[in-house]
Amino acid sequence: NKGYATEAVKTCIKIGFEQHHFNEILATILPENIASQNVVKKAGMTHIEDLIDHNLLHQIYSITKEQYYHLQK
């Protein structure tokens, strides 16, 4: 693991906030996908809720514009 996925997610978050001016970015991840959970956590996202869609449990992760800019300091 060389951290490529984390860097890719961080870049997407940066573009979302700095170029597209999003207020919040969400990720949906299946609970058994531990690697993806770790990637978004390393990128600064936090688990905010669980959601059932098409009879599958999804974990919702979020980062707000304020959280993103706080992490940049």
Listed in sequence order, the DSSP H helices in 1-73 are: 4-18, 34-42, 65-72
pLDDT recorded at residue 8? 97
The pLDDT of 28-57, averaged and rounded, is: 96
pLDDT recorded at residue 2? 79
Q: What predicted TM-score, i.e. pTM, was given to this entire model? A: 0.91
pLDDT recorded at residue 65? 97
Which letter, b or e, does each residue of 25-52 get, where b requires 16 or more Cβ atoms within 10 Å of its Cβ?
bebebeeeeeebbebbeebbbeeeeeee
Using CA atoms, how far residue 6 sits from 9, 57, 72, in Å, is: 5, 23, 16
